[in-house]
């Protein structure tokens, strides 16, 4: 179903959305009421009217959407054996933060990163700034963390870090940033001082990292939802035999940032016509009446924004 997001039921919801708010804390209560038996109902499928490249993270502010994406100009190539701690070269690309409206029309395009650091990851919105990590497109590499004013689309570099940070959230409860590494296998925490500066920016990565105890999906995009928790989406690939076709399973997880452990895990059995899980890359969630409305963008280049609702019972 292709439809104009600014019309009908969903359009009305967007027009009444409260601008300037981060992810809603009510998701802490609503998401755990969803189960594998929950029926997700598609409400819209909006074709974006510009090349989206390889989308990564998404936030919605009022009726505007912001999506991070990487334009891969040269694919990375794996080395025959690791070189200087890396399993592949850097490749080449350009990082973007797109702003578009409810009809899929591009409103702004901010370029982020520098040199070999061109791969934006999952993003978060804290009510004032959009937080965007941009990294080299390989594990165990390096990143630049930006905050972006969504009105002016001006980016400010906050700090640099010696690891691939694939997603970030701003914990406004205790004033800290939390990052996930390549494949979300490591967690990091960076406290902020009263001036918004990182207090442990010079710490060695190995002294800060905590292993992610959840293993069935890799987080792609995460958002702070209050109560010192983040809501993450992700996926993993499975095979029933070494030569069997890949089966891709996606899901949502609520993670407690105080101990980095999941407090609720939910498989999401939704796939795009392309066969990709809806949780392939960017997502955003918000309350919808007594349930949850989720926005997904699983496909590259000619992307569609899929919108689903699920009743929380």
pLDDT-based confidence at residue 21 (cuts at 50, 70, 90): low
Token pair in block for residue 310: 């699920």
Residue 197: the pLDDT is 94
Q: Would you say residue 12 has pLDDT above 80?
A: no
pLDDT tens column, 124-166:
999 999 999 999 999 999 999 999 999 999 999 999 999 999 9
Residue 245: the pLDDT is 92
pLDDT tens column, 194-225:
999 999 988 999 999 999 999 999 999 999 99
pLDDT tens column, 54-72:
999 999 999 999 999 999 9
pLDDT-based confidence at residue 272 (cuts at 50, 70, 90): very high
Residue 8: the pLDDT is 40
CA-nearest of 35, 32, 20 to 256 is 32
CA atoms 48, 52, 54, 60: torsion sign: negative
Task: Compute the average pLDDT of residues 40-48.
Answer: 98
Residue 22: the pLDDT is 83
Q: Would you say residue 306 has pLDDT above 60?
A: yes
Q: Would you say residue 17 has pLDDT above 70?
A: no
Residue 14: the pLDDT is 41
Q: Would you say residue 174 has pLDDT above 90?
A: yes
296 CB-contact burial (10 Å; exposed 0-12 / middle 13-18 / buried 19+) = buried
pLDDT tens column, 216-257:
999 999 999 999 999 999 999 999 999 999 999 999 999 999
Residue 4: the pLDDT is 44
- For the chain, the average pLDDT equals 93
pLDDT-based confidence at residue 313 (cuts at 50, 70, 90): confident
CA-nearest of 229, 218, 223 to 173 is 229
Q: Would you say residue 113 has pLDDT above 60?
A: yes
CA-nearest of 245, 181, 191 to 211 is 181
Please say whether the beta carbons of 172 and 22 come within 8 A.
yes
pLDDT-based confidence at residue 52 (cuts at 50, 70, 90): very high
CA atoms 169, 170, 175, 179: torsion sign: positive
Residue 7: the pLDDT is 41
CA-nearest of 200, 221, 188, 224 to 120 is 221
pTM, rounded to two decimals: 0.93
């Amino acid at each position: 179903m292709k439809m104009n997001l600014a019309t009908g039921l969903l359009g009305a919801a967007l027009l009444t959305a409260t601008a300037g708010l981060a992810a809603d804390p009510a998701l802490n209560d609503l998401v755990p009421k969803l189960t594998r038996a929950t029926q997700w109902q598609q409400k819209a499928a909006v074709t974006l009217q510009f090349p989206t490249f390889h989308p990564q993270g998404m936030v919605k502010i009022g009726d505007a959407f912001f999506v991070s994406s990487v334009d891969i100009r040269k694919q990375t190539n794996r080395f025959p054996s690791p070189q200087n701690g890396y399993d592949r070269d850097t490749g080449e690309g350009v990082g973007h933060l797109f702003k578009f409206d409810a009809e899929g029309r591009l409103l702004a395009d901010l370029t982020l990163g520098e040199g070999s650091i061109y791969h934006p990851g999952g993003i978060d919105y804290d009510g004032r700034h959009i937080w965007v990590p941009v990294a080299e497109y390989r594990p165990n590499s390096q990143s630049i963390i930006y905050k972006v004013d969504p009105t002016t689309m001006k980016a400010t570099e906050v700090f640099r870090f010696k690891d691939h940070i694939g997603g970030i959230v701003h914990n406004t409860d205790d004033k800290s940033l939390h990052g996930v590494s390549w494949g979300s296998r490591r967690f990091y925490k960076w406290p902020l001082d009263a001036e918004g500066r990182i207090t442990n920016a010079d710490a060695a990565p190995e002294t800060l990292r905590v292993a992610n105890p959840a293993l069935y999906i890799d987080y792609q995009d995460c958002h702070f939802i209050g109560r010192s928790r983040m809501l993450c989406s992700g996926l993993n690939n499975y095979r029933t035999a070494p030569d069997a076709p890949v089966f891709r399973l996606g899901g949502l997880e609520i993670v407690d940032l105080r101990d980095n452990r999941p407090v609720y895990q939910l498989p999401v059995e939704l796939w795009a016509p392309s066969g990709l899980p809806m949780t392939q890359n960017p997502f955003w969630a918000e309350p919808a009446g007594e349930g949850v409305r989720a926005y997904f963008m699983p496909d590259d280049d000619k992307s569609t924004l899929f919108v689903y609702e699920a009743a929380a019972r």
